[in-house]
Structure 1
Amino acid sequence: MNSLALQHSRTLLIRLSAAILIALVAVFGTVSAASAHDELTSSNPSAGSTMTESPEQIELNFSADLQQLAGAETSVVALSAEDGTKLASVVSTKGKTVTVVPEKKLASGTYKLVYRVVSSDGHPIEESFNFTVKLPVAASATPSESATNAPAPSEPAEQNNEPIQQLGSQISPVIWVIVGIAILGAAIAVLVKFTRQNK
């Protein structure tokens, strides 16, 4: 092989190596992005905390702005009492924060908040946590008042189903990982073929 052919071979090898490197960066960059979903950074009340008065609102703060659909609330929240009774609430999302306003004051007891939001990368996040309300004895609501304030179990379901249906399908980041691997495989195949031809 003369010097011109050798130089041409080296140029091709350099280009193939660069293509492989770009493919690797694309693959690992996509995997990193796929795993970097937003997460809950804080809440008020916080998980496991005990409050001495009924909260006027519950705030959930996330690590990045949540996705929203025009004309629809994409954050779905279910607030329930210790016995599983669903409590009606109004939910709103602004940037990184989801605000939940119970329609009735909460009596003493343990409550569970289940939330489903759409991460900034399109990945749905569904988690839950508990908190406790422990009112002073004189201010505690009687069992009859608690029963009166509790809405029918079907009401939150009607409130929450519509936003879930409007979330729509999201493109899975796994697809980009598969594309990156395919590019990497093609580049390696070309490199092997070229090497065999020049032996």
Structure 2
Amino acid sequence: MARSRASAPRRTATTRERLAAASGLMLAAALVLVPAGAASAHDYLVSTDPAADSTVSTPIDQVDLTFNDAVLDFADSTRLQVTGPDGGSTHFETACATVANTEVSAPIALGEAGEYTVVWRIVSSDGHAVSDTYSFRYEPADGTTAAEGSSSGPDCGEAAEAPSDSAPSTGPGSDSYLLIGTAVVIALVAAVTFGIIILRRPRDEDGEE
């Protein structure tokens, strides 16, 4: 009887140690797997100036795009084009896009009032090309000088095209959420399985009866 009373605290302590070990495994797995899933997502557009679907009432001389991570800048890899309300046949960017860390910019000179479309393409920090478009309206005051624009814009290499397979412009891609969710589920299943195996081990392995 005395031996049984003496061994009780030991059994309690051992159970707690096993639960702590299972929790530690779950945390370690989550820390390893979740960042790996998140890192696979393409860069995405955080903000624009002018903003998407906004109305600009004063002349502006530049379009600015801000991304969530540093944009890779290779020769002819970045495009930023601004076309006007005539169906996109006239360009109003006056020079090629420039990259400064997470910022992509291009100078512009807008023409007549109407809807303008911004077409952009970058190389994401994961090495993949990402592209998208957005629009804003230009409603200048009467008498504001209108730029003529050009039929092709500045010569910046191969022209950017409207995206057919691009990352969302306002947040992480859905593929990143899927990978993160899968990693978390794997971590939880591994932790629970490990905990069950440990807790069901024969007590005599710890010198208990």
Task: Name the TM-score, length of structure 2 as normaliser.
Answer: 0.58
CA distance in 1 between counterparts of 2:15 and 2:51 reads: 66
Q: Does 1:126 align with 2:132?
A: yes
CA distance in 1 between counterparts of 2:159 and 2:195 reads: 58
Q: Where do 1:38-187 residues align within 5 Å?
A: 39-44=45-50, 47-51=54-58, 53=59, 55=60, 57-62=61-66, 64-74=68-78, 76-88=79-91, 89=93, 90-102=96-108, 105-110=109-114, 111-117=116-122, 124=130, 126-132=132-138, 134=140, 136-137=142-143, 139-140=145-146, 146=148, 149-151=149-151, 158-160=158-160, 173=176, 174-187=178-191
Per the alignment, in what secondary structure is the counterpart of residue 159 of structure 1?
A: coil
Per the alignment, in what secondary structure is the counterpart of residue 86 of structure 1?
A: coil
CA RMSD of aligned residues (A): 4.4
**Alpha-carbon spacing, 1:87–1:97, altered in 2? closer, same or farther (3 Å):** farther
Per the alignment, in what secondary structure is the counterpart of residue 71 of structure 1?
A: coil
Shift of 1:132: 0.7
Shift of 1:41: 3.5
Match of 2:167?
Answer: none
Bigger Rg, which one? 2
**Alpha-carbon spacing, 1:45–1:4, altered in 2? closer, same or farther (3 Å):** closer
Judging by fraction of residues, say which structure has more helix: 1
Per the alignment, in what secondary structure is the counterpart of residue 15 of structure 1?
A: helix
Q: Would you say how many aligned residue pairs link Structure 1 and Structure 2? A: 177
CA distance in 2 between counterparts of 1:45 and 1:5 reads: 65
Match of 1:190?
Answer: 194
Contact 2:72–2:125, Cα closer than 8 Å, also in 1? no
What stretches of structure 2 of length at least 5 have no aligned partner? 165-172, 204-209
- Which of 6, 15, 20 is equivalent to 2:21? 15
CA deviations over 1:32-73 (Å, ceiling 9, x no partner): 8889x654345158831122x4x4x32314264432143343
CA distance in 2 between counterparts of 1:23 and 1:91 reads: 42
**Alpha-carbon spacing, 1:140–1:115, altered in 2? closer, same or farther (3 Å):** closer
Contact 1:48–1:132, Cα closer than 8 Å, also in 2? yes
Task: Name the TM-score, length of structure 1 as normaliser.
Answer: 0.61
Match of 1:167?
Answer: none
**Alpha-carbon spacing, 1:139–1:59, altered in 2? closer, same or farther (3 Å):** closer
Percent identity between matched residues is 15
